[in-house]
Amino acid sequence: MKQLVTIKGTKSGIILVLDPNAPFVMLLDEMALRFKEASSFLGKNKMGLMVRGRALTEDEESKIVDVISKNSDLTIVCILQEDSPLEERFIKSLNNDDEPVSAPAPVESPQVESDAYIEEDSNDAVIYSGNLRSGQDISCKKSVVVLGDVKPGANVTSYGNIFILGELRGNAFAGANGDRDAIVMALDLNPLQVRIADAIAISPDADNGPKLRIKRKKARSSAENEPEVAYIENGHIVKTLYGSPFLRQFYKI
Amino acid sequence: MGEVIVITSGKGGVGKTTTTANLGTGLAKLNKKVVLIDTDIGLRNLDVVMGLENRIVYNLVDVIEGNCKLKQALIRDKKYENLFLLPAAQTKDKTSVTPEQMKKLADELKAEYDYVILDCPAGIEQGFKNAIAGADRALVVTTPEVSAVRDADRIIGLLEANEIKKPQLIVNRLRADMVKRGDMMSADDVVDILAVELIGQVPDDESIVVATNNGEPLVGDNSLAGQAYMNICRRVVGEQVPFLDLDSKKGLFSWFKKK
C-alpha cells in the first residue's frame, strides 16, 4: 500500500508528503503514529514545516502542528512555502538563531495559465516579469505590465490597460470587459492581433514574410526604439508612437 | 457528402503539416470546397504555414467546448474563398478533445465540404487517436529514412486496426541524386517495405522552405515540389496522373555542366 504520510528532512526543516485523496482525519492519525516513532530520531529542535501533495486550510495546518508537538519534541516555528523567499529567510534565521521569522508582505504574481482569472478589481496593475511564449496566457482584471517579450501565440488579456516593456508579437486584449478607453502599449508593437473592447485589429499579411522581417530587424537595431501604443479612434484600433503628443490627445493632459 | 482525409506519419518533422497545407490549397485550386483542421493541440503550426496566424480568434477547442459556433472558428484562406482552416488551441493539450467529439465534428463538416483534411500530430497517443477518429481515408507521409519508414509501418498497422483500410503513401524529401548513387531509398524501395499504394513522391526542394516561411503553400507553381503536390491533389480526386521524373531538374543542370 502507498504510504499516506511521508516525512522528509531538508536543511530548513521537514517536509510532509501527504496523500491527496485520503481523508484528512486518517492522515492525522497516521502522522501521530509516525512522529511518535521518529521522535527520538528527530530530537528536540526548532523546525519549519513544508507540506506537499495537498493544499491545506489554516485550520488543517494548525491541527497538523498540534499533532506534531503532541507526539514529538519538535517545535514547529512556522509553515513554509517551498522555495519561497520565506524559506530563505528562515534558513538564515536558523543560522543566526535569534529573532522569530515574520513573513514578508505576500507578493501577488499573475498566474500564467490558460483562462486563469485573478479575482481582483481595482485600478492598479499586476506586474509580470519574464517572457511570455507561445501557449502562455495571462488573464487579469487589473491592468497588466509585462517586463519582457510577448511571443507569437502568447496572449495577454486584461480588463484594463496593457503595457509591455518589451516586444509584443503575440496577442493582446485590453479592455476585455468592454472598456473602449483601454490602451495597449509596447516598446515594439508588432502583434498578431490587438483587441480593445469590441474592436479587433490584425497584423497586415506579410507579402515577403521572412525577408521583410529580417529587413525590419536590421532597420530597428540602428534606429531609436520608439514605444508605440494602440487605442481606439472612431471605432477603429489605431497605432501611434507613445509620447507626449499621444498623451496630450488621449488623456487631455 | 464529402470525404475526411487524415494526414499522418508517426514520426515528427517529415512534412505532415506542409503536406496538409499544400493538399488543401491544391484541392481548393481544383475548385473543391475544403476545410483543414489542425489537430495538433498545444503545438499548432498549420495556421503559420498557411499564413493565417493573425486571424485566429476561436479554435478547435472553443468549438468542441461550445464557446463559439463552428462557423465563427473557421478562417477563410487569403486567396481561395472555398478553403477554410480550423486552427488548434495553443494553451490546451490533446486531452481536451475526445475521439468521439472529433468524429462528430468531422461528420458535421463533411456534410458541407468536399474534403475535410486533418493534420495529425506526431506520435500515436491521444492526438493521433483524435485525428483518425472521424477519418474515411488516410495519407501516410514518410521520408526515405529507416526511422521514418519504421514509424510509418507502425502507423499503417494502427490505421488498419482502426478500420481505415488502404492508407496511401506520400514519400517526401526525395533526393534524386542520392537515390541514383544508391545512398537513399527510392520511393519504390519504401513502397516495397510498407506494401501500400503510393500516391505521391515529393522532392527535397528549397522552395518548400521559402514557401513555408512566407505562409503560402507552393502547390501548383513551377517548382518541382509544387508540381508534385498538385499531382497528389489530382490523384486524391481520382485522376490518373503519372509520377514526375524527379531527376529532370538535375538533368538540365548536368546538361549545362557538360557544355
Q: Is A116 on the interface with B (CB under 8 A)?
A: no
Q: Is the pLDDT of residue A253 over 80?
A: no
SS3 A23: coil
Can you tell me the distance from the alpha carbon of A199 to that of B192, in angstroms, rounded to the nearest whole number? 56
Whether the CB-CB separation of B220 and B226 falls below 8 Å is answered with: yes
Determine the distance from the C-alpha atom of residue B148 to the mean position of all C-alpha atoms in its chain, rounded to a whole number: 15
Note whether B57 contacts A200, CB cutoff 8 Å: yes
Is the predicted pLDDT of residue A109 greater than 80, yes or no? no
Q: Which residues sit opposite B5 in a β-bridge?
A: B117, B137
And the C-alpha cell for B137? 481515408
Torsion of CA A193, A195, A200, A206, to 10 degrees: -10
Q: Cβ–Cβ of B214/A192 closer than 8 Å?
A: no
- Read off the C-alpha cell for B238: 481520382
Biggest distance spanned by C-alpha atoms of chain A: 76
C-beta neighbour count of B81 within 10 angstroms: 10
The structural domains of chain A, ordered by start, are: 5-100 (3.50.80), 117-251 (2.160.20.70)
Q: B247 or A246, which is more confident?
A: A246
Using a CB-CB cut-off of 8 Å, the residues of chain B touching A199 are none
Stronger pLDDT, A105 or B147, i.e. the higher one:
B147
pLDDT at A115 over 70: no
Summarize pLDDT for A130-184 with one digit per residue, the tens.
999 888 889 988 899 999 999 988 999 999 999 999 999 999 999 999 999 999 9
E strand or H helix at A26, and its extent? helix A24-42
User: Is residue B135 a contact partner of residue B164, using CB atoms and an 8 Å limit?
Assistant: yes
ipTM of the prediction: 0.71
Among A135, A193, A202, select the one facing B42 at the smallest CB separation: A135
Record the pTM: 0.68
Inter-chain CB proximity A209 and B42 less than 8 Å: no
What residue in A sits closest to B215 (Cα-Cα)? A209
Average pLDDT, chain A: 76
What's the average model confidence in pLDDT over A34-62? 77
Per-residue pLDDT tens digits for A205-232: 755 444 444 444 444 444 467 899 999 9
Please list every residue in chain B whose beta carbon sits closer than 8 Å to the beta carbon of residue A193. 54, 56-57
CA–CA dist A84, A44 (Å, integer): 25
Contact between residue A185 and residue A163 where contact means Cβ atoms under 8 Å apart: yes
- Cell numbers found for residue A77: 516555528
Interchain proximity A136–B91, CB inside 8 Å? yes
DSSP B243: P
A68 touches A31 (CB < 8 A): yes
| CB-based burial, A190-218: b 16+ in 10 Å, e otherwise | bbbbbbbbebebbeeebeebeeeeeeeee
Do A18 and A5 meet the contact criterion of CB atoms below 8 Å apart? yes
Output the tens digit of pLDDT for each of chain B's 259 residues: 899 999 999 999 999 999 999 999 999 999 999 999 999 999 999 999 999 999 999 999 999 999 999 999 999 999 999 999 999 999 888 999 999 999 999 999 999 999 999 999 999 999 999 999 999 999 999 999 999 999 999 999 999 999 998 999 999 999 999 999 999 999 999 999 999 999 999 999 999 999 999 999 999 999 999 999 999 999 999 999 999 887 755 445 544 544 4
pLDDT for residue A114: 44
Name every residue whose Cβ is closer than 8 Å to that of residue B93 and which is 6 or more positions away in sequence. B41, B42
A123 touches chain B (CB under 8 A): no
Own/partner long-range contacts of B244-251 (Cβ < 8 Å, ≥24 apart): B244/B201, B244/B203, B246/B174, B246/B176, B246/B201, B246/B203, B247/B176, B247/B177, B247/B180, B248/B224, B249/B176, B249/B224, B250/B176, B250/B177
Query: Are the C-beta atoms of residues B60 and B73 closer than 8 Å to each other?
Result: yes
A195 strand-pairing partners: A173, A200
CB atoms within 10 A of CB A104: 10
In 3D space, the residue among A21, B179, A238, A190 whose CA is nearest the CA of residue A172 turns out to be A190
Q: Residues B57, B69: contact at Cβ < 8 Å?
A: no
Beta bridge partners of A129: A147
Chain B hits for A135, Cβ within 8 Å: 42, 90-91
Measure the CA angle with vertex A209, ends A208 and A211; round to 5°. Answer: 70
List CB contacts (< 8 A) between B54 and chain A.
192-193, 202-203, 205
Alpha-carbon torsion B119, B112, B80, A202, what sign? Answer: negative
How much is the pLDDT for A223?
47
CB contact under 8 A, B54 and A203: yes
Which among B55, B91, B213 has CB closest to A137? B91
Helix (H, G, I), strand (E, B) or coil at A192: coil
A-chain residues near B50 (CB < 8 A): none
In the numeric block, which cell numbers belong to residue A157?
488579456
Residue A94, pLDDT score:
55
Would you call A210 and B42 a contact, using CB atoms and an 8 Å cutoff?
no
Given a contact cutoff of 8 angstroms between Cβ atoms, the answer to whether A185 and A164 are in contact is yes
CB-based contact B49:B151 (threshold 8 Å): no
8 Å CB contact of A135 and B51: no
Which H helix or E strand runs over B104? Answer: helix B99-110
